[in-house]
Amino acid sequence: MIRTEVSIAGVSLKNPVITASGTFGSGAEFSEFYSLDELGGVVTKGVANVPWPGNPVPRITETSSGMLNAIGLQNPGIDVFIDRDIPFLKKYDTKIIVNVCGRTEEDYCEVVRRLKDQDMDMLEINVSCPNVKEGGIAFGQDPRALQHITERVKKEASLPVIMKLSPNVTDIAEMARAAEAGGADAVSLINTLTGMKIDIYRRTFALANRTGGLSGPAIKPVAVRMVYQASHAVKIPVIGMGGITCAEDAIEFMMAGASAVAVGTANFMNPYAAPEIVRGICEFMESQGIRDINEIIGAAG
């Protein structure tokens, strides 16, 4: 019998596979393909205090082994989210991790306060979205701003707080330490890398927002390196993500130091990607004689 359970800040996930925010909505669309019970957790699309309309289209474009997106954190606002999405997810035996976005520190805090009495498991604070002008990444590229917003959110929160870090920084270890110093219970990384694509026939930008966030297999080596550096810089757990498309990728992140992994862009490459990765991890453990998944966390050294 193999053990796939991992623990993040006292929350036990039946397996280390969760979804990456923004690629999975609140799970309803993917629940037409498989039961969300199969996942360790669902991380919902970022939600703000009020509805956000997002950016103009085109919002996505493909790049070699990757994609750029500039959705702009379109979301229905916290009221609709609480009324509709949390009750939907409660039907499943999986952990609910709500991703929170905002323009100001107070916006984030308002959402966190609204979620105080909700039946859910963790908060993920998105301070790393490259596609909105205000808020988002502004908090995620300056260690002092990151520590400050982490402290404020932690004061309001009744659940464990995961700070989602941006890879668009010089020193990821410093950012992870800032989140830990602010009281974060965990960090997740990486969010997307800022990129650009030009449509050479139209002589203009492929995305209406001009820049977008790069995700997919193209960014995986960068993500593995940053997960390794962050996990060596802090004592809190690290959730790894960035281009995971198969169980072998997920195991690589865990050996680099991740206690759990998130599947994002791969959901677009195959709607069954996340549960297939769960099964693939079990097969790998059986074939390698690994009895407890926790044995491989940070196994690379």
Question: Does residue 101 have an active-site annotation?
Answer: no
Query: DSSP letter at 77?
Result: -
Query: DSSP letter at 298?
Result: T
Distance of closest approach, residue 108 Cβ to another protein, in angstroms: 19
CB burial of residue 32 (10 Å; 0-12, 13-18, 19+): exposed
Marked catalytic residue, from 101, 109, 129, 246: 129
Closer by beta carbon to another protein, 28 or else 299:
28
Pairing outcome for strands 238-241 and 198-199: unpaired
Distance of closest approach, residue 83 Cβ to another protein, in angstroms: 10
Distance of closest approach, residue 285 Cβ to another protein, in angstroms: 26
**Whole-number Å distance between alpha carbons of 35 and 38:** 6
Distance of closest approach, residue 40 Cβ to another protein, in angstroms: 19
CB burial of residue 63 (10 Å; 0-12, 13-18, 19+): middle
Closer by beta carbon to another protein, 54 or else 183:
54
Closer by beta carbon to another protein, 80 or else 299:
80
Closer by beta carbon to another protein, 60 or else 222:
60
End-to-end CA distance of the chain: 26
- Residues of this chain that bind another protein (CB under 8 A): 22-25, 29-30, 32-33, 45, 51-54, 57-62, 64-67, 69, 71, 74, 76-77, 80, 201, 216-217, 265, 267-272
Helix (H, G, I), strand (E, B) or coil at 179: helix
Active site residues: 129
